[in-house]
Structure formats: C-alpha cells, structure tokens
Amino acid sequence: MAEGRGDEATPPEEDPAVEPASRRSLTDTPREPIGTEWDDDEVERERVVTVVHDVAVRPLPPPPEPYQPEPIQIGGYGGLSLRGSSLNRNPAVWVGARGALILGNRFSIGGAFYEATARFGGPIVGSHGEQFGLRAAYGGMTFDWVAWEHGKFDIGIESLVGAGAACVSRSPSYGDDDWRCIETVRMFVVEPGVNFTYTMRDWLRVGTSLGWRFVARQAWRPPNDFSLAGPYLALNLDFGWFGDNR
C-alpha cells in the first residue's frame, strides 16, 4: 500500500509565512485616509453671487433757476394837449401841457395844466350893459393806467385831481392884455377819462382822450352862476421815452 501511494505527487508544503492572495481579507487592502483635502484655490472661487437687476432710473430734473424779477422799465414824457370842452355851457377851447413818469409801460404818474383860451357864445353882459369875459385855469396830478395794449396801440384810463380858479374878466376878448379879474372863485377839479394812444417812435406818441370835468367851486356873487364843469375831447402829442419794446 505504501508503495502504491508513492506514485502520487506530493503537494508542496506551503510556507506558513506567506499567505495566499486569495485568502487575504478585504480589510487587509490598504485604504486612503478618510476625509477630504480642500483645494485652497477652489475655496477661494466659492462666493455668494448676488444678482443685480439693471433697473432704469430716470435722472432727477435739474434744480430750478433762482427767481430773478425783471427790472421795471422806466420811461417818461412831456407833451402838449388841445382840448375841446365847455365853459359856462358854451363851447370852449382849452390848451395845456402835461408830463409824466412811466413805470413798466403800464402806469404813469405826473402832472398837467390847462387853461381856457377861447369861448364861443357871446360876452357876459353886466347889469348896466357892460361886456365881460370868463376865464378859467386849473392843474393837478395825473394818473394813467394802460388797460389794453396791442403792438403800438394802447387803451388806458386816465384821471386828474387838482385845483384851479375861474374869474369874470374886464374884457371879453382872450387876446386883450388888460383882462384883469373883477370876481374870482376857486375850484376843485376831478377829471376821469379814457385815452387812446399810438406810439409812432420810441420817443414820439400821439393820442386822443375823452372824459368829464367835475368841479366843486366857491359860489359866485348873486346873481352870477357860471358853470365850469363839462365834457372834454383832447388831442395829445407827447415826446419822451416810451420803451424799446414797442
């Protein structure tokens, strides 16, 4: 029997110091260390991204310019006036001179003087048949306000407030140098009116005006009772400075 098993190959003896690979445990396989190594560059790239929406914003309007009032334009004039009016209810001619300061092409303040130079209606007859004349003159402050304007045409409201005197003269003729007054009364005058003007040049203006002369006077000696109030229609010629925007 011993010789029969001798023909069989005898397996080699294993070295106990070497373990077959098939018998190695999975736990014996070398492993990477547990954990994560962070790349510094990758950490730096991680940022919170904020999305900014591009909203159209209207620019603020520019601040208003400081208020600068326009300077008041100042002008002035002096002129002549020829008036058709009445004196003691008879037609009469009055001549006068006037002047004013113009403020802002709207308002004028000045003065004027008027005197009766002719009266149509016959002389005043005294108790003994004497013939006498009637004279009057007055002046005062004037106020004028332009109510409407269009180009070189103006329509305004005018007024005069003043005082004067009237008298019965020795001569009925206004051309007589010896016309001395024999009776005089003082009077207070208010004249409202409307004027129409046309500015031909910066320095020349023509116009017409109409209104009424109201008079409060002293009493005449009886039986005299001469009326001094009445309407007027005037032609005016003025020279001065009426503004460079006309």
Is 201 a member of any domain?
yes
Q: How confident is the model at residue 99, as a pLDDT?
A: 97
Report the domain count for the chain.
1
Report the candidate in 119, 112, 137, 98 with the shortest Cα–Cα distance to residue 215: 137
Q: How confident is the model at residue 3, as a pLDDT?
A: 46
Q: How confident is the model at residue 4, as a pLDDT?
A: 46
Interatomic CA distance for residues 198 and 142, integer angstroms:
19
Is 112 a member of any domain?
yes
The series of mean pLDDT values per 10 residues for the chain, 246 residues long, is 47 51 49 52 55 67 80 90 96 97 92 96 84 95 95 96 96 86 96 97 96 96 91 97 70
Instruction: Give 21-41 pLDDT, tens digit per residue.
Output: 444 444 455 555 555 555 555
Is 158 a member of any domain?
yes
DSSP the chain: -HHHHHTSPPPPPPPTTS--GGG--GGGS--PPSS-PPPHHHHHH--PPPP------PPPPPPPPPP-PPPPPEEEEEEEEEEEEEETTEEEEEEEEEEEEEETTTEEEEEEEEEEEEE-S-PEE-TTS-EEEEEEEEEEEEEEEEEEEETTEEEEEEEEEEEEEEEEES-S-TT-S---EEEEEEEEEEEEEEEEEEEEETTEEEEEEEEEEEEEEPPPSTT------EEEEEEEEEEEE--TT-
For 149, phi then psi, to 5°, come to: -140, 145
Q: How confident is the model at residue 243, as a pLDDT?
A: 72
What pTM was estimated for this model as a whole? 0.71
Is 138 a member of any domain?
yes
Is 215 a member of any domain?
yes
Q: How confident is the model at residue 1, as a pLDDT?
A: 43
CATH code, 132: 2.40.160.20
Torsion of CA 232, 237, 242, 244, to 10 degrees: 140
Q: How confident is the model at residue 153, as a pLDDT?
A: 95
Structural domain range at position 180:
80-241
Q: How confident is the model at residue 40, as a pLDDT?
A: 54
Is 70 a member of any domain?
no
Is 133 a member of any domain?
yes
Interatomic CA distance for residues 112 and 190, integer angstroms:
12
Q: What is the sign, positive or negative, of the torsion defined by CA atoms of 159, 164, 169, 171?
A: negative
